Amino acid sequence: MIAGFDRSRCSDVDGLTRWVGGLGMIIGGACLLAGIVVYVAPHYRGAVSVILALILVTGTIATTAGCQRFTKR
């Protein structure tokens, strides 16, 4: 599921899966919440789109940066 994963280079496989899975759940929850807000109040879809884009970019950066902690040196 994680592109380029090599078990021999990972210092803590369980920690890595918890990290990626946890952030994936947060990003998924943000998408669900954004969908609910746009459904309930469609006139806010522009603001929700900008906020969601920021959350997705921030989540992607956090996931990538955090994965470095689990790489053997």
Q: Does pLDDT of 2 surpass 70?
A: no
pLDDT, tens only, 10-69 = 888 898 889 999 999 999 999 999 999 999 999 999 999 999 999 999 999 998 898 888
Non-local (6+) Cβ contacts of 37 within 8 A are 44, 48
d(CA 45, CA 26) in angstroms, rounded, equals 20
pLDDT score recorded for residue 42: 94
pLDDT score recorded for residue 4: 72
pLDDT, tens only, 25-34 = 999 999 999 9
pTM (two decimals): 0.81
